[in-house]
C-alpha cells in the first residue's frame, strides 16, 4: 500500500514535506510496474512525464489543492500525450491532439497523472471484461471483476496504484465499480462537469466523476473538475459550490427516501440487503427520518436505458469507419462499403457491435417511434418520478448493485444478466441527477467483498449528497479497510 493512499492525506503530506511528490509518484509507478501486469488496471503510463510533473511540485513550480497527488485517468478521456484507446482496437493507436477539460483542471491543480486505466470497450459493460486488451481483476479477490465500465480506475485506486481516479458514468459506470472495490464514487449532475474531451458513448447520459477512498477525497477532486466550460454546450453556467466547506456539517432533519419499487426487485443478494438495512438503521440513529417513496416507472428503467444508450452509441460510433477515424482493415477490399464493413468488424468487439446493431435497428425507419421515441417518453416519466419523490425526501438510499463483485466469466454468456447488474443505477443517468456510492459493509467468509450503498439527490445537490454520505462515513470504518493482495497465488 502507498504510505499515503488518500487524496487528502497525500496532498497534506507533500505540503508538510513528510514525503516529496517525486517519492510518492515513484512509489505509485513502482506498484504499477511490479504488479499491474496481473491486475490489469492500466492501459498505459508515462513515468517520465509524471516524474517531471512531480519534481515541479517539489520545486514550487506547480501548486494547487491536488499538488503532488497521483491520479489516474480512464482511457476514454483525451490527453495530449500518449494514446486514448477506449480499450478498443478501433482506437488502439489514437493520439488526441488536445487535453480534456478535466485533465487540464487536474493538472492546473497540481495533480500528477500516472497513467490511463482500462475499461470496457467504449465504456460499454459492467465488468471490464469487454476490453480489447485485457481483463481487469478486483483487488479484493482477483478471481472476480472490479465492475465496469470504469473498472480499471476502481482497481487502480483500490490496489494503491494511485490516490484517486476519474471515471465516466453512463449507466452506473463509476458507482458500480466503486461499490465492487470498496470505494466512494460520484456521478455528478449532467452538465456539472465538462464532457469536452470525453470520447462519447451516449452523449445525453455520459458524465465524468471522481473515485477515491473517502467522501472528502471525492469532494476535493469534484471541487477541481466542476464548473462551466464554454467548450461543452451541455455544461451548465451556474458556478459550482465549494464541496469541502460544509462537508463535516451534518444535515438537520434529514429525510431519506426508501423506494417501494426497489424492494420488489428480484436477485438482491441477502448480504447486500442486510448491509443496506444496517445503513438505514445507522442513519436513523443519527436522527434521520426514513420515508417510503415511489418511483412507479422503475421497471422500465433498464429497457429504456438499453434503447437510448445504444441509439446514441450507434450515432456516435458511426464516425469510426477506417477512413476518417479508427482502425482500417489491411485486407484487400473491392469498394468503400466493404472497407467500412471490414474495418468496423475488426475494430469493434462483440459488445460494441451488439449495441450498435440494437441502436441502428431502433433508429431505423418504421421502428423509431416504436422504440427510441417511446424510450424518450419513458425517460420523461422517470424524471417526473424523481421530482415527485424528492418533494418528500432529501435523498434516496438504495443498494448500488444487487450483488457484490461476481466472478470473471460468470455473466459474459448472458448479456441480459449483465445488463441487470445496473438495475439500481441506470435511472440516475436517465433523469440526469447526481448519485454517489459509499462503502456500507462487507460480505462474510474467508474473502470478504465490499458492499456499496447508493445515495441519489435532486439535480445539482452534490453538496448535500456528499454531506449525507459523510455523515455515514464519519460513524463507520468501512472506508478504512484495504484489500490484502496476493495476486500471483490467486490467479494461478
Which residues are CB-contacts of 332 (< 8 A; sequence separation ≥ 6)? none
Point out the catalytic residue in the list 88, 126, 173, 235: 173
Q: Is 55 a catalytic residue?
A: no
* DSSP string of 373-436, one letter each residue: IHHHHHHHHHHHHHHHHTTT-SEEEEESSSSSPPBTTSSTT-HHHHHGGGTTTHHHHHHT--EE
Q: Which residue pairs from 29-38 have beta carbons closer than 8 angstroms and sit at least 24 positions apart in sequence? A: 29/114, 31/2, 31/159, 31/160, 31/161, 32/114, 32/115, 32/161, 35/159, 35/485, 35/487, 36/161, 38/137, 38/142, 38/487, 38/488, 38/491
Q: Is 282 a catalytic residue?
A: no
Hey, what's the cell of 80? 495530449
Hey, what's the cell of 229? 466550460
Measured in degrees and rounded to the nearest 5, phi and psi for residue 247 equal -60, -35
| 149 cis-preceded (ω within 30 degrees of 0) | yes
Point out the catalytic residue in the list 149, 153, 168, 437: 149
Our CA angle for 195, 230, 463, nearest 5°, is 60
Cα 141 from chain centre: 20
How does DSSP classify residue 135?
-
Hey, what's the cell of 437? 456510492
- Laid out side by side, the sheet with 42-45 consists of 42-45, 112-117, 70-74, 164-168, 208-212, 184-187, 435-442, 450-456, 395-399, 255-259, 289-293
Buried b (16+ CB within 10 A) or exposed e, 77-101: bbbeebbbbbbbbbbbebebeebbb
Q: Is 149 a catalytic residue?
A: yes
- Residue that is written with C-alpha cell 487536474 in the block: 106
Give the Cα separation of 117 and 434 in Å (integer).
23
User: Helix or strand or coil: residue 312?
Assistant: helix
Point out the catalytic residue in the list 9, 45, 74, 87: 74
Which residues are CB-contacts of 212 (< 8 A; sequence separation ≥ 6)? 6, 7, 157, 163, 164, 165, 183, 184, 218, 221
Our CA angle for 313, 315, 319, nearest 5°, is 105
Question: Which residues are identified as catalytic?
Answer: 74, 149, 173
Amino acid at each position: 500500500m502507498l504510505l499515503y493512499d488518500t487524496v487528502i492525506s497525500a496532498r497534506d503530506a507533500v505540503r508538510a514535506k513528510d514525503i516529496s511528490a517525486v517519492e510518492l509518484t515513484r512509489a505509485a509507478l513502482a506498484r504499477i510496474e511490479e504488479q499491474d501486469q496481473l491486475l490489469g488496471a492500466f492501459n498505459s503510463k508515462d513515468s517520465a512525464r509524471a516524474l517531471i510533473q512531480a519534481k515541479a511540485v517539489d520545486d514550487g513550480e506547480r501548486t494547487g489543492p491536488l499538488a503532488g497527488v497521483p491520479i489516474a485517468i480512464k482511457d476514454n478521456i483525451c490527453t495530449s500525450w500518449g494514446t486514448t484507446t477506449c480499450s478498443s482496437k478501433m482506437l488502439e493507436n489514437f493520439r488526441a491532439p488536445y487535453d480534456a477539460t478535466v485533465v487540464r483542471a487536474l493538472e492546473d491543480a497540481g495533480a500528477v497523472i500516472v497513467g490511463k486505466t482500462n475499461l470496457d470497450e467504449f465504456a460499454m459493460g459492467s465488468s471490464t471484461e469487454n476490453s480489447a486488451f485485457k481483463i481487469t481483476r478486483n483487488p479484493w479477490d482477483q478471481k472476480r471483476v472490479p465492475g465496469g465500465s470504469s473498472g480499471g480506475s476502481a482497481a487502480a485506486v483500490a490496489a494503491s496504484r494511485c490516490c484517486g481516479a476519474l471515471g465516466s458514468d453512463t449507466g452506473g459506470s463509476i458507482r458500480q465499480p466503486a461499490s465492487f472495490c470498496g470505494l466512494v464514487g460520484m456521478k455528478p449532475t449532467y452538465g456539472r462537469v465538462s464532457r469536452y474531451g470525453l470520447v462519447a458513448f451516449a452523449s445525453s447520459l455520459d458524465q465524468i466523476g471522481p473515485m477515491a477512498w473517502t467522501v472528502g477525497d471525492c469532494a476535493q477532486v469534484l471541487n477541481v473538475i466542476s464548473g462551466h466550460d464554454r467548450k461543452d454546450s451541455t455544461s451548465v453556467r451556474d458556478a459550482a459550490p465549494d464541496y469541502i466547506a460544509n462537508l463535516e456539517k451534518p444535515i438537520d432533519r434529514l429525510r431519506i427516501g426508501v423506494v417501494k419499487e426497489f424492494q420488489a426487485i428480484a436477485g438482491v443478494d441477502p448480504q447486500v440487503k442486510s448491509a443496506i438495512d444496517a445503513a438505514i438503521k445507522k442513519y436513523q440513529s443519527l436522527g434521520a427520518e426514513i420515508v417510503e417513496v415511489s418511483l412507479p416507472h422503475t421497471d422500465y428503467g433498464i429497457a429504456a436505458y438499453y434503447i437510448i444508450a445504444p441509439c446514441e452509441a450507434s450515432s456516435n460510433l458511426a464516425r469510426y469507419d477506417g477512413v476518417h477515424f479508427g482502425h482500417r482493415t489491411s485486407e484487400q477490399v473491392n469498394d468503400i462499403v466493404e472497407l467500412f464493413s471490414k474495418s468496423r468488424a475488426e475494430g469493434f468487439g462483440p459488445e460494441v457491435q451488439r449495441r450498435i446493431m440494437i441502436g441502428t435497428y431502433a433508429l431505423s425507419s418504421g421502428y423509431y417511434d416504436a422504440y427510441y421515441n417511446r424510450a424518450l417518453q419513458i425517460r420523461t416519466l422517470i424524471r417526473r418520478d424523481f421530482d415527485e419523490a424528492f418533494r418528500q425526501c432529501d435523498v434516496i438510499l438504495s443498494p448500488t448493485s444487487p450483488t457484490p463483485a461476481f466472478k470473471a466469466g460468470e455473466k459474459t454468456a448472458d448479456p441480459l444478466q449483465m445488463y441487470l447488474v445496473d438495475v439500481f443505477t441506470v435511472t440516475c443517468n436517465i433523469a440526469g441527477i447526481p448519485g454517489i456510492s459509499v462503502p456500507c459493509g462487507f460480505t462474510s467468509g474467508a474473502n470478504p467483498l465490499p458492499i456499496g450503498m447508493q445515495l441519489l439527490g435532486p439535480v445539482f445537490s452534490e453538496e448535500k449528497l456528499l454531506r449525507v454520505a459523510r455523515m455515514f462515513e464519519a460513524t463507520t470504518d468501512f472506508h478504512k479497510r484495504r484489500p490484502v493482495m496476493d495476486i500471483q497465488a490467486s490467479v494461478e
